[in-house]
Amino acid sequence: MSDMAKDTYFPSLGGTLLDNTVEKDEIFDPMTQVYRDCLFENNIFYAKNVGMRTKNHVISLIESEKKALSPIDIKCWIWSDGISSLPFGHWRIQVYKKLLERGTNHEAAEKIAIGTRLPEKY
């Protein structure tokens, strides 16, 4: 029965669709590239939006352009890798600043601050 079902759908294709797989390096996702450009090359990405509006019973299409992705995140403290972030006022930021005041270099202070754990109270 399974042999019969195998031959009923596109018998001319045979097994060619499964035999010729695509390498992962050849797959290109444009949205992933946009995210990478935003994070690592500091590009700003704008998106166009088309909406319908009515005024005095007249329907019209309005096109607007908005900022969709921005590398500048003003709500968080961003580490030097450009990806990891902490909210302002986080205790690890204070550890980092105190290490810099004591003369520790930037990279070492960042590693220590990220790896620091709070002491257990209980």
Q: What is the pLDDT of residues 102-119, one digit of tens each?
A: 999 989 999 999 888 888
Question: What was the pLDDT predicted at 52?
Answer: 94
Residue 18 pLDDT > 70: no
CA 99 → CA 8, 17, 92, 106, 111, distances in Å?
A: 71, 58, 11, 9, 11
In the chain, where the domains are located? 23-72, 73-122
Per-residue pLDDT at 76: 82
Q: Let me know if 96 is exposed, middle or buried by CB neighbors in 10 A (0-12, 13-18, 19+).
A: buried
Supply the pTM of this predicted model: 0.44
Taking residues 92-98, report their average pLDDT.
92
The residue length of the chain stands at: 122
**pLDDT tens digits for 25-78?**
667 788 888 888 888 888 888 999 999 999 999 999 999 999 888 877 677 888
**The predicted structure's pLDDT at residue 16:** 59
